[in-house]
Structure 1
Amino acid sequence: MDTTRNTILEAWMREHGHSSSSLAEAVNAAQERLTGRRGGHDGSSVRTWKSGRVRWPKSATRKALEDVTGLSATALGFVPPGRAQSTPAPEQEDPDMKRRTLAGGIAAAAATAAAPGTALRRIGTSDVDRLQHRFAEIIASDHRHGGQLSIEQRAAALADEALNLQNAGSATQRVRSNLYACAAAFRSSAMWAAIDGRRYDDAQRHLREAQALAEMSGDLAIKFRIWSHAGSMFRHLGRPADAFAANDVARGLSITRRDPMFASLGLARQAAIHGAAQDLTGTRRAFDQAQDALERTDPRDYRPVWMLAFYDQAELDSLALSAYLALGDYPTAESHAHRCLSALRPHMARSRAITQTRLAHAQLAQGEPDAATATAMKVPATAATQHPRVSRMLQEFGAALRATAPGSPTVQTWTEHTAAWRTRA
């Protein structure tokens, strides 16, 4: 019997703070709400799901799990009888030799995802609405935690689920386009989680899938998101020429001419790339244009949830902070950091941790080790130890602090604080 571990379920439990016993209790309560009879699960039941000894729980249990998690059983890593484990094996050959053609590859993925023997039904807007609700949950998880492998895996599984619906029944062309747009949105979130977690090979794989799905959807907003993310990925990889090229694709879409918020985001990310490329004039010009476009934004206009969830004045200042820090203009970087922190919305936990870490770097570079250390100590232990970008920046901060003030009480304070982080994490 195949007992491949259900790593997706394990990751979901870690992210939501569930032990085996607490999840069992939640499933029992959900089963009582659904059927009128309380479930009989305990911690050992959940451990059989995690270990893979039970790959497809009984129908009442599956429905209760879906009610508790908001995800389908397949998105949680369970495998229906007769289907192969969906987790792909690592590629051992040149990925370019394995790439599928655009239409053929996506159609094949949809066919593979469709469960055999599933009765055809009418796929409608309610199915799209359900997927969009799941997408909003992915966005919320990203802003709380950021960069986590569990978010990447869950988004990729939901992209497959959206493709699955293409073969599950009949639908209008509009619904089919919306399903491809949902799949592209989930894949772009998987891509961003991989970028944020510094898993760049995985991010580029998600990018190729997302681009293909977006083309089939015809959705300009999601095309913008994918190409804009690609620009950010290449900026983090230290490839400004590729970053400019990708971001230019996003900025060249007609949606940036119709909506100043999209224009502003494209320009703000362009400015960040100019900063990474050490172009002070280009940075200032692009940020001025981004600020002007943001001020022309009409909040009453419709925009997708991913845009509304994060882009505002605080995000523009966050990108400015990144750019001026790269340019070595530390006073300007610090000014944008304070503006960003004062305007960040409460749900932007990941962004707050990144901004605090960058602010600490800017303060240290201005010869203020005590203020910088106090700022760095405000970063939560979870972000400091579990978010790859934040962890790396804090390691670099520690090295710079020791070089700036070797043997000082401030260094000792920082050393003790980071040891406590590791203990609590």
Structure 2
Amino acid sequence: MDTQRNEILAALLTSHGYTHRQLAQAVNAISGRIFGRPGAATDRDVRRWISGAVRWPTSRYLLPLVEIFDRQPEAMGFVPRGRSSRLPVPPPRTPTAGEEEPVKRRAFLTASTAATVALALGLDETPVQGRLTLTDIDRATGKIGRLAAHFNSVGGGALLEVATVYLDRLRTAADGCTYGPRVEQALNAAISDLCSSAGWAAHDAGQSGQARLLYADALQSAILAEDKRGQARAWSNLALQARLDGRHREALRVNRAALDSRQARQDPRIAALLHSRLAIGHARAGDPPAAARSLLAAEAAHDKFDTAAPPPPWLRFLDAAEIAGLSAIAHQAMGHLPDAELATAQALQMLAPNMHRNRAYYGVQLAELQVAQGDTDRAALTVARLNTSALSSRRIADRLATVHRALAA
């Protein structure tokens, strides 16, 4: 039989960081949630999908693949064969007595998402005793990067426990394993990276105290690792936390210190993020001219992005859409509501399809701005278009509830 290799699916595995075995595990876990019993996919099945030997998987595997990669089958390189190759509809779940309360449903989604991610990433494979090598650290770094990608998709609330459990495992490895100086440095850098991601998850889950501690731990580990990029990231997060705590001048001082670092001067992506957040800080501190200068600096840094070189996983969210969204927050803080609404709408138009969390965040922000300008009809329409059913973010949920109360009033 004439077969053609599925290069699209092979590229998706690479971009998402899955091995054949890890993808099979993720498919089986999601299949269990959809169909009520775990799937039986193996790495051999994945190889057959990629080789083209299987051009259209069974529904038991196809539906999980659609969920994992957020693409229709044809966009994953699969080839339909007539009417029998239509995308199947997931079987209905057996209802319990009475309707599920929204909180219970969100708790189920959170638990299933976290379990699926933990299983797919193989977080229990990192050794906690014996000899630790650079290969082990490279694997851990890859897992942390894929965890950051899941944050952008489903929000931090669903994955906070996953991140903190894996952080405990890395710290156990640091205490229980033997390794040389290079491995120690790389391990500290990985712990810093994970602390920052876990801090973001805590922040998104509304756990500001835990987020603050994790950001401080991230800075300490980055210093031990002599990781300048990790230090700049930690300083940026600490500045954000200070601003959220209402300490605007402290946030400005921390943000300026981060911008003065060599890494910020050499990396346009870090500079763009810091300038965008500095603009918000100036706006909240009542200095519109300084905020405007920082917004221009962020746009100038964005123009210098090296699109040929992939950014680190934690910075993949930072694109033109995110910079527009951050500028909207600065305009809102300055009282420029029409400009803020326009920038938020631009962010929503430019967001990548898989950025579900950010799409919900800026969707709520757009509704807030419309309510603030008295345009309740458009705000109601904006809210009606939001889809937060598979999202776990207390921050977004609380803000959306406030919008609903304003519309009801």
TM-score (norm 2): 0.69
Tell me the residue number matched to 1:210.
Answer: 218
Residue 372 of structure 1, aligned match among 363, 369, 379:
379
Deviation at 1:355, TM superposition (A): 0.6
Q: Is the 8 A contact 1:160 1:183 kept in 2?
A: no
In the TM superposition, 1:99-248 aligns within 5 A as: 118=129, 120-121=130-131, 123-148=132-157, 150-248=158-256
Q: Is the 8 A contact 2:197 2:314 kept in 1?
A: no
Alpha-carbon distance between aligned partners in 1 of 2:161 and 2:117, rounded to the nearest angstrom: 17
Q: 1:381 to 1:206 in 2, by over 3 A?
A: same
Tell me the residue number matched to 1:70.
Answer: 121
SS across alignment from 1:250: helix
Alpha-carbon distance between aligned partners in 2 of 1:351 and 1:69, rounded to the nearest angstrom: 23
Tell me the residue number matched to 2:91.
Answer: none
Residue 359 of structure 2, aligned match among 349, 352, 358:
352
Q: 1:183 to 1:371 in 2, by over 3 A?
A: same
Deviation at 1:67, TM superposition (A): 9.6
SS across alignment from 2:389: helix
Q: Is the 8 A contact 1:265 1:311 kept in 2?
A: yes
Alpha-carbon distance between aligned partners in 1 of 2:117 and 2:277, rounded to the nearest angstrom: 38
Deviation at 1:175, TM superposition (A): 2.1
Alpha-carbon distance between aligned partners in 2 of 1:350 and 1:253, rounded to the nearest angstrom: 30
Residue 297 of structure 1, aligned match among 287, 292, 305:
305
Residue 320 of structure 1, aligned match among 323, 327, 341:
327
Deviations 1:65-88 (A, max 9, x none): 99943233489xxxxxxxxxxxxx
Deviations 1:148-179 (A, max 9, x none): 1x412222222233333334544332222111
Alpha-carbon distance between aligned partners in 2 of 1:336 and 1:21, rounded to the nearest angstrom: 38
Deviations 1:202-222 (A, max 9, x none): 112212322221111111111
Q: Is the 8 A contact 1:314 1:344 kept in 2?
A: yes
Alpha-carbon distance between aligned partners in 2 of 1:216 and 1:286, rounded to the nearest angstrom: 31
RMSD across aligned positions (CA)? 2.9
Tell me the residue number matched to 1:45.
Answer: none
Tell me the residue number matched to 2:401.
Answer: 395
Deviations 1:228-281 (A, max 9, x none): 111112222222122212222321221011122211111011011222233322
TM-score (norm 1): 0.66
Gaps of 5+ in 1: 1-12, 34-64, 76-113, 404-425
SS across alignment from 1:212: helix
Tell me the residue number matched to 1:25.
Answer: 38
Alpha-carbon distance between aligned partners in 2 of 1:255 and 1:216, rounded to the nearest angstrom: 16
Alpha-carbon distance between aligned partners in 2 of 1:67 and 1:146, rounded to the nearest angstrom: 15
Q: Is the 8 A contact 1:353 1:383 kept in 2?
A: no
Tell me the residue number matched to 2:296.
Answer: 288
Q: Is the 8 A contact 1:30 1:68 kept in 2?
A: no
Q: 1:256 to 1:68 in 2, by over 3 A?
A: closer
In the TM superposition, 1:397-416 aligns within 5 A as: 397-403=403-409
Letter in 1 for 2:364: T
Q: Is the 8 A contact 1:315 1:340 kept in 2?
A: yes
Q: 1:239 to 1:66 in 2, by over 3 A?
A: closer
Q: 1:184 to 1:176 in 2, by over 3 A?
A: same
Alpha-carbon distance between aligned partners in 2 of 1:337 and 1:219, rounded to the nearest angstrom: 34
Alpha-carbon distance between aligned partners in 2 of 1:154 and 1:67, rounded to the nearest angstrom: 6
Q: Is the 8 A contact 1:363 1:372 kept in 2?
A: yes
Residue 347 of structure 2, aligned match among 321, 340, 352:
340
Alpha-carbon distance between aligned partners in 2 of 1:139 and 1:29, rounded to the nearest angstrom: 25
Q: 1:361 to 1:160 in 2, by over 3 A?
A: same
Alpha-carbon distance between aligned partners in 2 of 1:66 and 1:300, rounded to the nearest angstrom: 29
Alpha-carbon distance between aligned partners in 1 of 2:228 and 2:333, rounded to the nearest angstrom: 31
Alpha-carbon distance between aligned partners in 2 of 1:212 and 1:297, rounded to the nearest angstrom: 28
Alpha-carbon distance between aligned partners in 2 of 1:159 and 1:333, rounded to the nearest angstrom: 38
Alpha-carbon distance between aligned partners in 2 of 1:66 and 1:328, rounded to the nearest angstrom: 41
Alpha-carbon distance between aligned partners in 1 of 2:380 and 2:292, rounded to the nearest angstrom: 29
Deviation at 1:24, TM superposition (A): 6.7
Q: How many equivalent residue pairs?
A: 312
Q: Percent identity?
A: 27
Q: 1:72 to 1:351 in 2, by over 3 A?
A: closer
Letter in 2 for 1:267: H
SS across alignment from 1:382: coil
